[in-house]
Amino acid sequence: MIRLERRKEPSKIWRIANPFLAVVLTMIAGGIMFAALGKDPVAAIRLIFFDPLFSEQFGSYSRPQLLIKTAPLILIAVGLAIGFKANIWNIGAEGQYIMGALFGAGVALAFYPIEGWYIFPLMILAGALGGFMWAMIPAILKTRFNTNEILVSLLLVYVAERILAAMALGLMRNPDQPGFPGSRDLRRYDSAHNAELIANTGLHWGVVAALIAVIFAYVMMTRHMLGFHVQLAGQAPRAARFGGVSPARLVIICLGLAGALAGLAGMFEVSGPGGQVRIEFATGYGFTAIIVAFLGRLNPIGIVLAGFLLGLTYIGGELSQMMLQLPGASIQVFQGMLLFFLLALDFQTNYRIRLTQGARA
């Protein structure tokens, strides 16, 4: 008979090993899925994980793109991880990402065609403010009326998507091309363009912001009293309250910080790789960042590694659609498998499997 026995303390070995096992199982399950679609599973896995980095055919394009895809994932995941540590579940980072993009682009379009060094810094502030304000809706509702932040933040994503569509078709539509939905291309507006800092590397201000966020989060969680409060609230909520930690204050801080970082990611995207406000601007970074946060074990350093891995799936997914004609949804399923296997394997951290002999009749 098989019996689950709770460990006296969580296993550090399994906690480290589970993300790697989840990646291996995802490759196996993904290969089976690709084979069921009539594609060569080995070629598909190689195209997703290896060719973007090591192939001479694709490497010159893919390597710069890796930084571009990874930066928003890391930026959003760092903010989410801090809240998750405190058992504050912000599932609506996609909406905060959209609102940050709209606020940042709104500043640029309001100044157009004026050129000035101050425009881009104002866009950064506006992007962070947009994400922060959108995150304050579930934060205030939770602290005042004890609503569920998971449901509220998630439902607000769909509200943000409707606002995005309304802006692309209405107020922010390019007046020079009224027949096409979408704003002016910010990449052609020098003062608002988040250009590469070093040509052909993919390094832009969003990458710099992601690096700063990782350092900030690491220092806060390991050296600052706020980080201690966050971890205490997540591990022992009653002890945290007795210790003077305000649950309401922690909800405001964690959701506000996550919203601001997601808003920054949206602003850097719309002013750089995305280029303009358009209906299909939302690419799912806010949802994928949840996988990044858990795969990185809610640790800032782990999030960097997980961010590169998930960024690789975005690039490999684009290549597989182009080279193997795989459906785009298959890559989303592939990413979902990764989270599924990680959560499924996590029982080994707190439990061990025991084989026992059944009692004789």
What integer is the mean pLDDT of 159-172?
Answer: 95
Q: Which helix (H) or strand (E) holds 71?
A: helix 59-85
pLDDT at 105: 96
Mean pLDDT is lowest, of 20-34, 173-187, 254-268, 320-334, for 320-334
d(CA 301, CA 304): 5
pLDDT digits (tens, 9 = 90+) for 94-109: 999 999 999 999 999 9
What integer is the mean pLDDT of 195-222?
Answer: 94
Mean pLDDT is lowest, of 34-43, 47-56, 248-257, for 47-56
Cβ atoms 234, 86 nearer than 8 A: yes
What integer is the mean pLDDT of 59-79?
Answer: 91
Q: How confident is the model at residue 199 (pLDDT cuts 50, 70, 90)?
A: confident
pLDDT digits (tens, 9 = 90+) for 283-293: 899 999 999 99
What integer is the mean pLDDT of 313-319?
Answer: 88
Q: How confident is the model at residue 305 (pLDDT cuts 50, 70, 90)?
A: very high
d(CA 161, CA 90): 17
What integer is the mean pLDDT of 273-294?
Answer: 92
pLDDT at 193: 95
Instruction: Give strand pairing partners of 5.
Output: 352
Q: How confident is the model at residue 243 (pLDDT cuts 50, 70, 90)?
A: confident
Cβ atoms 335, 313 nearer than 8 A: yes
pLDDT at 360: 52
Q: How confident is the model at residue 5 (pLDDT cuts 50, 70, 90)?
A: confident
Cβ-Cβ contacts under 8 Å for 135 (sequence gap 6 or more): 90, 92, 96, 153, 255, 256, 258, 259, 260, 262
Name the token pair of 265.
């990611």
State whether the Cα torsion 315-218-150-19 is positive or negative.
positive
pLDDT at 225: 94
pLDDT for 245 beyond 50: yes
Cβ atoms 71, 210 nearer than 8 A: yes
SS3 label, residue 102: helix
What integer is the mean pLDDT of 223-245?
Answer: 90
pLDDT digits (tens, 9 = 90+) for 120-135: 999 999 999 999 999 9
pLDDT at 361: 45
What integer is the mean pLDDT of 271-278?
Answer: 92
pLDDT at 359: 52
d(CA 294, CA 345): 12
* DSSP label at residue 184: -
Q: Which residue has the higher pLDDT, 116 or 8?
A: 116
Cβ atoms 194, 204 nearer than 8 A: yes
Mean pLDDT is lowest, of 49-63, 155-169, 213-227, for 49-63
pLDDT at 358: 58
SS3 label, residue 103: helix
pTM: 0.93
Calculate the average pLDDT of the chain.
91
What integer is the mean pLDDT of 1-29?
Answer: 87
Full set of structural domains in the chain with CATH = 40-325 (1.10.3470)
Region class of 38: left (phi > 0), else alpha (psi between -120 and 50), else beta: left
pLDDT at 279: 92
Percentage of the chain exceeding pLDDT 90: 66
Q: Which helix (H) or strand (E) holds 352?
A: strand 351-355
In terms of Cβ atoms closer than 10 Å to its own Cβ (0-12, 13-18, 19+), residue 164 is buried
Mean pLDDT is lowest, of 22-31, 246-255, 338-347, for 338-347
What integer is the mean pLDDT of 255-264?
Answer: 98
